[in-house]
Amino acid sequence: MTVPKLLENKTALVLGVANKRSIAWAIANRFHEAGARLAITYQDERLRDKVEPLVEGISDCLLIQCDLTKPEEIEETFAKIDSEFDGLDILVHSVAFALKDELEGRFSDTSPEGFQVAHNVSSYTLTSTARAARPLMEKKGGGSILAMTYYGSTRVIPHYNVMGVAKASLEASIRYLASDFGEFNIRVNGLSPGPLNTLAARGITGFPKMLKYVAEHSPLRKNTELDEVADTAMFMASDLARGITGEIIHIDGGYHIVGM
């Protein structure tokens, strides 16, 4: 498939690239093919070795270490982007984390620490990075912010537990940010893919069973593919989606509409 240059002359920051199978990398790669100039963050030196080889074929990609739970690193990151790009058009938030023990047993057994960690990393970091991105997007006359969410925000998914509650918080944040930023021509939306066979998803107990069930019961009778998510992100980040904000776009073969 020939990728249209929908993002030519735009600059994009993608948060959450961890490896070649991550949703964030699929989106970053598609943005590059669509003509965007890229900045990519990695959390720490441990992940640098996995991310650096991915961007070797992308000329002038800005690679930045940034732990999103540290305000000073967020500030430094956006200062570097402003210096390099003189503004920003697109921000992609593909960041989520919960303590492993919280994804077992009952949600009601969630610890205070587990609740705080999941919400801080998976939800609040959207607000903190969107706030930092706003002045850079104002320079460009507007922008598009995208965050990755999941069906477990509105329906009970076995073993998703506190992450589902954190995703519900994320989706509420998307709506409030869309309201806050609309006057600056900055759109804020969420993408909600079906279950994807990423390294992170494999940590959820029973994940293979989940993939099989969704493929059998979704209207399109298939699982979601990374390229489908990347293509939707490309559209939502482009001017073709200029009238859409505050929405959760499902990319799940229609699974979210099925009752039985």
**pLDDT at res. 260:** 81
Q: How would residue 112 be classed by pLDDT, with cut points 50, 70 and 90? A: very high
Q: Which residue of the set 42, 151, 160, 255 is catalytic?
A: 160
Instruction: Tell which CATH architecture fits domain 11-253.
Output: 3-Layer(aba) Sandwich (3.40)
Phi and psi, residue 238, nearest 5°: -85, 170
Q: Is the pLDDT of residue 201 over 80?
A: no
8 Å CB contact between 122 and 97: yes
Q: How would residue 199 be classed by pLDDT, with cut points 50, 70 and 90? A: low
8 Å CB contact between 198 and 148: no
* Stretch among 138-147, 177-186, 207-216, 226-235 having the lowest mean pLDDT: 207-216
CA distance linking residue 130 with residue 134, whole number of Å:
6
Q: What is the mean pLDDT of residues 17-41?
A: 95
8 Å CB contact between 210 and 195: yes
Interval 50-78: pLDDT, tens: 899 999 988 889 999 999 999 999 999 99
Q: Which two tokens stand for residue 38?
A: 């890229």
Q: Which residue of the set 150, 151, 176, 213 is catalytic?
A: 150
The percentage of the chain sitting over the pLDDT mark of 70, rounded to a whole number, equals 97
Higher-pLDDT residue of 18, 8: 8
Max Cα distance, the chain (Å):
52
Domain ranges of the chain: 11-253
Sheet with 143-148, side-by-side order of all strands: 62-65, 37-42, 11-15, 90-93, 143-148, 186-193, 248-251
CA distance linking residue 225 with residue 229, whole number of Å:
7
Q: In the annotation, is 255 catalytic?
A: no
Interval 127-173: pLDDT, tens: 999 999 999 999 999 999 999 999 999 999 988 999 999 999 999 99
CA distance linking residue 182 with residue 195, whole number of Å:
31
Q: What is the mean pLDDT of residues 112-131?
A: 98
**pLDDT at res. 47:** 86
Q: In the annotation, is 176 catalytic?
A: no
